[in-house]
C-alpha cells in the first residue's frame, strides 16, 4: 500500500480533475455561483479529499468506506457535468474531456477499492483460521 495519499494515482488524477473543473466553471454564468458552480466544485473536491482522508485512517475497512464516498462524489460530478452541458454552460468538447477524466478516475478508484476490499477480506480469513 502507498505510504502517502499523494502516492495514489487515484488521488493524483482526482486532483487534476478538480483543477480542470475549477478552470472550466469560471466560465459558468455568474448567477450559478451559488448553484451549479458551487455544487460541482464541492463534489469534485470531495473525491480526492475522501481518498486522502481514507488513506490516513488506521483500518482498511475505514479506507474502503472513504473510497466508496469518493466514488459516490464522482458520480455526482458526472451528473452535474451532464446538467451543465445540457444547460449550455459547457461545450460538448469540454464536457466530453471532463467526463473522460471522471471515467479514468472511476476506473482507477474501482481498482484501488477492489485491492483494499480483497486485502481486507484476506486478512479476515487469516484471522478466522
pLDDT at position 119? 76
pLDDT at position 125? 47
Query: How many structural domains does the chain have?
Result: 1
Mean pLDDT of 5-13: 96
Report yes or no: 17 and 80 within 8 Å, Cβ to Cβ. Answer: no
Place 122 in a pLDDT band, splitting at 50, 70 and 90. low
> Could you tell me the CATH number of the domain that includes residue 116?
1.20.1440.60
In a domain, 96, yes or no: yes
Q: What is the domain range of residue 88?
A: 9-128
The answer for residues whose C-beta is within 8 angstroms of residue 114's C-beta and 6 or more apart is none
In a domain, 1, yes or no: no
In a domain, 2, yes or no: no
49-62: per-residue pLDDT in tens?
Answer: 999 999 998 889 99
pLDDT at position 71? 97
In a domain, 23, yes or no: yes
Whether pTM > 0.85 for this model: the answer is yes
In a domain, 3, yes or no: no
Q: What is the DSSP string of 93-117?
A: HHHHHHHHHHHHHHHHHHHHHHHHH
18-56: per-residue pLDDT in tens?
Answer: 999 999 999 999 999 999 999 999 999 999 999 999 999
Amino acid at each position: 500500500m502507498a505510504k502517502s495519499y499523494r502516492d495514489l494515482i487515484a488521488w493524483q488524477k482526482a486532483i487534476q480533475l478538480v483543477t480542470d473543473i475549477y478552470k472550466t466553471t469560471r466560465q459558468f454564468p455568474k448567477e450559478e455561483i451559488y448553484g451549479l458552480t458551487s455544487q460541482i466544485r464541492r463534489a469534485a473536491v470531495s473525491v480526492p479529499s475522501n481518498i486522502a482522508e481514507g488513506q490516513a485512517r488506521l483500518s482498511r475497512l475505514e479506507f474502503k468506506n472513504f473510497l466508496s464516498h469518493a466514488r459516490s462524489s464522482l458520480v455526482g460530478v458526472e451528473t452535474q457535468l451532464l446538467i451543465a452541458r445540457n444547460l449550455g454552460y459547457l461545450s460538448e468538447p469540454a464536457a466530453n474531456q471532463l467526463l473522460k477524466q471522471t471515467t479514468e478516475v472511476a476506473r482507477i478508484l474501482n481498482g484501488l477499492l477492489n485491492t483494499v476490499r480483497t486485502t481486507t477480506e484476506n486478512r479476515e480469513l487469516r484471522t478466522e483460521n
